[in-house]
Chains A and B, each alone.
Chain A
Amino acid sequence: MSPLTLSLCLFCQVLIVAGNLLLKHAMSGTNEQHGSPLRTGLWLSAGIALLALWFFLWLGLLSKWELSQLYAFEGMAPILLMVSAWLFLGEKVSLRGWIGVLMIGAGLTLVAGA
């Protein structure tokens, strides 16, 4: 795998994480009584745009590389997402949550590689 492909794979994971953070931010706003639909729509569109970009980038990678090689990166997404939801959205994560997500990441990598 070339450095370019490697960084594209990593960029894909960043897109999934950022896209879902934006979706979560948009939907959290709908719980507030004075939340504005326009704001929700804007955050939602931004999230959907990132996920759409991910989708086409992923399709491009799938056409060139083996599924098992690409899926090895999938294990990173849950861990990255939990860390960034904790950092950027202030989500509280219990110790059980951290241990659980590390097991999920390791497990997904094993499933893809084995």
Chain B
Amino acid sequence: MSSLESSAPSFGFKVSASTIAYLKLLFCAVLSAAAELCLKVGAAGGGKDSTMNFSALAQAGTWLGIVFFVAQFVVWLHVLRKTPVGIAFAVQSVVQLMVPIGAWALLNEQISAGRALGIALVFAGVLLAAAPSALADERL
């Protein structure tokens, strides 16, 4: 069996190319969420002096957010080399669920029945659309 199946390190077991693509996408989603969170903290820390919130630039959170944002973009471009953009973008939709789920888990905020149904639908859709075999279709 060839050990050159994928370029990623294998820890005694074989990691398929599609699983790696999946993990990279997940990493991308986490970076996105981190960027948004930091930007929000930075924007709230600055004053509300005008419509263009320039004072946010004096906040460390804003710059950390920008770093996360750039990192996310680089990983996203890397993912796009091999993964179909339709599937990759669909998987990124989980970022929009992180805020309501985080608010529920950490801040004990209520989630309405409609919103809970929406969250379940998105997760089911991501699992259906981005099952590892689908990501592997474009493997070279």
B118 contact from A23, A24, A108, Cβ within 8 A: A108
List B residues 85-131 near A (Cβ within 8 Å).
85-87, 89-90, 93, 96-97, 100, 112-115, 117-131
Judge whether A81 and B85 touch: CB under 8 Å. yes
Nearest Cβ in chain A — how far from B109, in angstroms? Answer: 14
Q: Which of B84, B119, B124, B127 has the most CB of A within 10 A?
A: B84
B114 contact from A24, A97, A103, A113, Cβ within 8 A: A113
Judge whether B115 and A30 touch: CB under 8 Å. no
Q: How many residues of A contact B (CB 8 A)?
A: 42
B51 within 8 A of A: yes
A110 within 8 A of B: yes
List A residues 23-39 near B (Cβ within 8 Å).
23-24, 26-28, 30-31
Q: Which of A21, A100, A110 has the most CB of B within 10 A?
A: A100
B76: which A residues are within 8 A, CB to CB? 23
Q: How many residues of B contact A (CB 8 A)?
A: 40
B137 within 8 A of A: yes
List B residues 25-82 near A (Cβ within 8 Å).
51, 76-78, 80-82
A93 contact from B86, B97, B113, B119, Cβ within 8 A: B86
Nearest Cβ in chain A — how far from B137, in angstroms? Answer: 6
Judge whether B51 and A63 touch: CB under 8 Å. yes
Judge whether B97 and A111 touch: CB under 8 Å. yes
A107 contact from B86, B121, B130, Cβ within 8 A: B121
**Can you list 9 A-B contacts with CB-CB less than 8 angstroms, sorted by A residue number?**
A21-B85, A78-B86, A81-B90, A82-B89, A94-B134, A100-B124, A100-B126, A100-B129, A109-B118
Q: Pick the 3 closest A-B CB pairs, nearest first.
A: A100-B129, A114-B114, A110-B118
